[in-house]
Amino acid sequence: MEIVWDQIDRKGWRAATAKVSLPAQQHWTYGAVLSAMGRNVRHAEIIFGGRRLGLAQVVSRRFGPLRVTLLSRGPVWLEPVAPDFAVRALRALGREAGLMIVTPEVELRGAGLIPLIAARHEAVIELRPAPSEIRARLGGKWRNRLVRAELEGISVLQSLPDSGQLARLLSREVEQQRQRGYRALPPAFTLGWLKADPEGMILYEAQHRGRTIATMLVLLHRPGASYHIGWSGAEGRRVNAHQLLLWHVIRDLHEQGYRTLDLGDASADAAPGLARFKIGSGATVAPLGATMLVLPALTRPRS
């Protein structure tokens, strides 16, 4: 096994990941945003038998003399690998990354992996089936709310947002966080994504009787996309505007050839109402791997 650092560029990364499941945290734009925010971002290729089997985007930050490296939702495997190979790869990455904390897509166990935080559950909508099939998977109550929203005369507008639109949405989101007691990525991340890739997000707005009553922002990281921010006022909640917005997102992304829509954490403990909304949308809910500290391999792995 060989780990090759920082020899792949954006074009090569995009080509290599075009046909695999790619969470936002392993998309090149995500790294570009964090790099602009002052983080050290590096890209590794995992080579075995002369073939590139995996990629890993890692983000480092110094706390005094200590450097901590994060590998979120990775590595991205370009071919199926055995769990013991994945463990060896993580420890090989750690040889140069130093103190590394990883949250893999699937559960991994083995020597050199120390669990820190239990696995969380992620809600993901598979977009490749026909919209009629996706709609048939909606939960009964969720579907009924969608039908009622479709009868309310709500207009849904879709656009590539500008910085002014994002600033208004982020202001509402910050206030919503304060009221509901949750935390999310800082506004600088969203604005940075717009700067790094102006066509890498879509804003959906629900308008009713001349007023915007709900909004939804989706990040694009082909072949996948992610629900990023949602806001709804009292009128939006009354007429089930978020059901309608998410259905438009699903239908549009399907037509554009996207494979998955990641709705994020579906933990009922943190936000039971939001978890019910995600699960009712027909998303598949599955655990990620636990967040773990990786002890680096002391010797270079053999190919």
Global pTM value: 0.92
Q: How many residues does the chain have?
A: 303
User: What DSSP state is assigned to residue 6?
Assistant: S
Write out the two tokens for 84: 């013991």
At 268 the pLDDT is 63
Q: How many other CB atoms are found less than 10 A from the CB of residue 160?
A: 13
Measuring CA to CA, which residue among 301, 29, 261, 294 is closest to residue 123? 261
Helices (H), strands (E): how many in the chain?
A: 10, 15
Question: Rounded CA gap, 176 and 121, in Å?
Answer: 23
Q: Are residues 212 and 271 in the same domain?
A: yes
Q: Are residues 56 and 180 in the same domain?
A: no
Q: Is the dihedral of CA 12, 13, 14, 18 positive or negative?
A: positive
Question: Bridge-partner residues for 41, per DSSP?
Answer: 59
How does pLDDT run across 79-117, given as a tens digit for each residue? 999 999 999 999 999 998 888 999 999 999 999 999 999
Give the domain CATH number at 85.
3.40.630.30
- Cβ atoms of 23 and 262 closer than 8 Å: yes
> 68 lies in which domain range?
2-118+289-294
Question: Rounded CA gap, 34 and 216, in Å?
Answer: 22
Question: Rounded CA gap, 161 and 197, in Å?
Answer: 11
CA dihedral 189, 194, 196, 202 (to 10 degrees): 110
Q: Are residues 135 and 70 in the same domain?
A: no
At 8 the pLDDT is 98
Measuring CA to CA, which residue among 137, 105, 100 is closest to residue 120? 105
Q: Are residues 102 and 229 in the same domain?
A: no
- Cβ atoms of 226 and 24 closer than 8 Å: yes
Measuring CA to CA, which residue among 71, 59, 74, 69 is closest to residue 106? 74
The 3-state DSSP class for residue 32 equals: helix
Q: Are residues 126 and 237 in the same domain?
A: yes
Q: Are residues 240 and 203 in the same domain?
A: yes
User: Following DSSP, what letter does each residue of 58-88 receive, concatenated?
Assistant: EEEEEETTEEEEEEES-PEESS---HHHHHH
Question: Bridge-partner residues for 47, per DSSP?
Answer: 2, 52
Give me Rg for the CA atoms of the chain.
20
Q: Are residues 281 and 145 in the same domain?
A: yes
The 3-state DSSP class for residue 23 equals: coil
Question: Rounded CA gap, 288 and 266, in Å?
Answer: 11
| Residue segments in the chain with a per-residue pLDDT below the cut of 70 | 268-270, 298-303
For residue 299, being part of any structural domain is answered with no
Q: Are residues 166 and 128 in the same domain?
A: yes
* Peptide linkage before 104 cis (omega within 30 of 0): no
For residue 300, being part of any structural domain is answered with no
Backbone φ and ψ of 77, nearest 5°: -90, 125
What residues contact 226, with CB distance under 8 A and at least 6 apart?
Answer: 23, 24, 218, 219, 261, 262, 263, 264
Q: Are residues 177 and 203 in the same domain?
A: yes
